[in-house]
Amino acid sequence: MQKITRDILVEKAVSLLENGTVCCVLGWKKGEFDYDVTPALFESKEEIEKDFVYDDFCGANFSKYLVKKTIKAEGKILVFLKPCDTYSFNQLLTEHRFDREKVYAIGIPCEGMADINKIRAIAGDGISEIKCGEKIVVDTIYGDKHEIDAKDVLLERCINCKSKKHVNYDELLGDEGEVIESNRFDEVARLEAMTPDERFAFWQNELSRCIRCNACRDVCPACTCEKCVFDNPKSGVENKAPANEFEEKMFHIIRAFHVAGRCTDCGECSRVCPQHIPLHLLNRKFIKDIDSFYGEYQAGAEVGSRAPLVNYTTNDLEPSEVFEGRGE
């Protein structure tokens, strides 16, 4: 299988830019450190050749950026989509959030992205440089050098990858993959099996760390509202400084409920959380419930599908039956 490298993507991007197919390129750019790669819009060959990055830290899902960028762009935008990104891409198309005609989507295969926290756990603090290649090579300011196998430091979402298949693209680089039988609901099931008190302790511990920075919302490709309820004083749930850990539940339930049935389980929320709260466990709870109550549904698998919360059947499960057969 062809390994996707920076050079291949740069060459592709430059050629499409130069032949006029696209007017700009949505890609990744190095941040302050090697590992905080950020999304960026490139408009010239020079910019691309200078700053374009593709390595094990390119987790960012570009779909969301298309909402704002396509409205302004004069021509087409080139975007590189990993398999998981294509689901968000489709979901946004379903919701008419951008014009498909204004995008040139290139599907790229993905073997999983690295979790910097796992690297830190191995290499310690003070990382000065990281090189991604066969192995991830980490230098620290203390002069240590670590060689880490990328497979050992995958992001949680990549360990539980649900699909290597691209569900939407104009052009595909490399080989097409398959939808994978993942174990992504195991952790949710483990929590469900806990006693209520254990589970309460678990969530209290996790959610009490929330600093309401809104990173999870800002990165979420399903959260593209023109005005978010958390920014709207009339919604009754507007942003407030966190006063105690109870209130954070409200925020996170509402956040997860708002994207229920629309969340593609891309895992960006957990990736960006500075407090390392496993937010995907909330979203996955909804996905798991939806699958078991109303039949399997993968948001974004196809454009135009009817999300479970804007659908019904006359013999749906009653709310009182939710807990039946779950003992206790």
Residues engaged in binding other proteins (CB under 8 A): 71-72, 94-97, 191-192, 196-197, 199-200, 203, 224-229, 232, 234-237, 243-244, 246-247, 249-250, 253-254, 256-260, 262, 282, 285-286, 289-290, 293-294, 306-314, 316-323
Of 21 and 305, nearer to other proteins (C-beta) is 305
**Number of neighbours of residue 282 by Cβ within 10 angstroms:** 25
CA nearest to 184, candidates 86, 284, 98: 284
In the complex, least distance from residue 269 CB atom to other proteins, rounded to whole angstroms: 15
In the complex, least distance from residue 220 CB atom to other proteins, rounded to whole angstroms: 11
Of 10 and 281, nearer to other proteins (C-beta) is 281
User: Which ranges in the chain belong to alpha helices (H)?
Assistant: 6-18, 45-51, 63-72, 83-94, 116-123, 156-159, 186-193, 196-207, 215-219, 245-259, 268-272, 280-294
Q: Are 23 and 77 in contact (CB under 8 A)?
A: yes
Of 127 and 228, nearer to other proteins (C-beta) is 228
Of 3 and 96, nearer to other proteins (C-beta) is 96
Instruction: For 252, list phi and psi in degrees, rounded to 5.
Output: -75, -30
Strand duo 24-29 + 77-81: pairing: parallel
In the complex, least distance from residue 7 CB atom to other proteins, rounded to whole angstroms: 36
Of 166 and 252, nearer to other proteins (C-beta) is 252
Q: Give one word for 20, left, alpha or beta, with left for phi > 0 and alpha for psi -120 to 50.
A: left
In the complex, least distance from residue 133 CB atom to other proteins, rounded to whole angstroms: 42
Residue written as token pair 């629309």: 262
In the complex, least distance from residue 302 CB atom to other proteins, rounded to whole angstroms: 15
Dihedral, CA of residue 247, residue 251, residue 256 and residue 258, to nearest 10: 140
In the complex, least distance from residue 305 CB atom to other proteins, rounded to whole angstroms: 11
Tallying the residues shown for the chain, one arrives at: 328
Of 125 and 226, nearer to other proteins (C-beta) is 226
Helices (H) and strands (E) in the chain, counts: 12, 9
In the complex, least distance from residue 257 CB atom to other proteins, rounded to whole angstroms: 5
Of 41 and 229, nearer to other proteins (C-beta) is 229
Side-chain half-sphere of 275: how many Cα atoms within 13 Å? 14
- The set of residues, in sequence order, having a beta carbon less than 8 Å from that of 301 and lying 6+ positions away, is 87, 90, 167
